[in-house]
Chains A and B, each alone.
Chain A
Amino acid sequence: MVEWTDFERTTIQDIFSKMNYDVVGQQALARCLIVYPWTQRYFGNFGNLYNAAAIMGNPMVAAHGKVVLHGLDRAVKNMDNIKAAYAELSVLHSEKLHLLGDCLTIVVAAQLGAGFTPEVQAAFQKFLAVVVSSLRRQYH
């Protein structure tokens, strides 16, 4: 069981309540595909991913980015049992999911600017680590 402090709970709820899911989802996924190009192999049917501009403008990337963020919502609403929240979610989630988490951290940092203090960063990264670990659990 993960223990959350009041600060961590409030911080996570706050970040997600103010977030533009469409923008952040698209930016995080696009960034992941650009910065870590080997992750493109999971999206063979997404069409044109040949360069950064193509990825940034790709509508399937934008759509899937949105799906990802809404998927994170489940964890935000069930912080006390994230493992169960993802029990039936597709096992397709790769071992490299933490790379997407890193890109999401970067995008949120850019959005919040000075508001992304070390304490907020720690809470956010802890949350992502729990989510990623819960999704990886399905493998074994």
Chain B
Amino acid sequence: MSLSANDKATVKALWAKISPKAEDIGNEALSRMLYVYPQTKTYFSHWSDLTPGSAPVRKHGKKVVGGIGLAVEKIDDLFNGLLTLSELHAFQLRILSHNILVVLAMLFPDDFTPEAHLAMDKFFARVALALSDKYR
């Protein structure tokens, strides 16, 4: 599965619209991932506070959403564009992606149409693939 020109355009358009709320999206999505899927907490056992909306969560949420923004920029060459990002993410990305989609539906109900949902879902699948490319 690869991203069509339409998919890329849809992702870019949606991201442009929602990026003013990027910090909130990152915080909400990461908070939900940790709360709804507690098994993901093991990756962050070194944080002082893993509750939704806590300072470490908010800080990392901002980083996460920055990474996604980078992926949107590099959408035409995800495999090379994401080389510098730690490959640690790929396994968790499926769960995190689900929560990002939930947050987008919550915050942008009118923009998150089925077509936008489809494009974002495909995009996250590609990002996960690009990140796991260097696993072995």
Interface-forming stretch among A16-24, A119-127, A131-139?
A119-127
- Give the Cβ gap from A102 to chain B, nearest Cβ, in Å: 7
Query: Which size bracket describes the interface of B in this complex?
Result: 10 to 19
- The CA of A122 and the CA of B37, in the complex, are separated in Å by 8
B62 close to chain A: CB less than 8 A: no
The reply on B81 being an interface residue by CB < 8 A is: no
Partner of B112, one of A52, A110, A118, A125: A110
Residues from chain B with a CB closer than 8 A to the CB of A35 are 114, 117-118, 121
Number of A-B contacts (CB under 8 A): 53
Docked Cα-Cα span, A32 to B106, in Å, equals 17
Asked whether B91 is an interface residue with its Cβ less than 8 Å from the other chain, the reply is no
Q: Are the C-beta atoms of A106 and B117 separated by less than 8 Å?
A: yes
Contact of B109 with A by CB under 8 A: yes
Q: Mark A103-125, 1 if CB is under 8 A from B, else 0.
A: 00111011111101011011001
Complex Cα gap A110–B103 (Å): 9
Residue B126 at the A interface, CB < 8 A? Answer: no
Is chain A's binding surface mostly helix, strand, loop or mixed? helix
The answer, yes or no, to whether A34 is at the interface (CB within 8 Å) is: yes
CB-CB contacts below 8 Å: B100-116 with A: 101-103, 105-107, 109, 112, 114-115
- Chain B, range 25-65, C-beta contacts under 8 Å to A: 31-32, 35-36, 52
The distance from the CB of B111 to the nearest CB of chain A, in whole angstroms, is 10
> A34 to B118, Cβ gap below 8 A?
yes
Cross-chain contact B36 with A122 (CB below 8 angstroms) = yes
Cβ-defined contact, A106 with B115, below 8 A = no
Judge whether B36 and A106 touch: CB under 8 Å.
no
- Interface presence of A56 (CB below 8 A): yes
* CB proximity to B under 8 Å, residues A27-48: 30-31, 34-35
A and B contact pairs by CB, cutoff 8 A, 14 listed: A31-B117, A34-B115, A34-B118, A35-B114, A35-B118, A52-B114, A106-B101, A107-B105, A109-B102, A109-B105, A110-B112, A112-B106, A116-B102, A122-B35
In the complex, given contacts A52-B118, A109-B106, what are 18 additional A-B residue pairs having Cβ atoms less than 8 angstroms apart? A34-B114, A35-B121, A52-B114, A52-B115, A105-B102, A110-B105, A110-B109, A110-B112, A111-B109, A112-B106, A113-B107, A113-B109, A116-B106, A118-B36, A118-B52, A119-B35, A121-B35, A122-B35
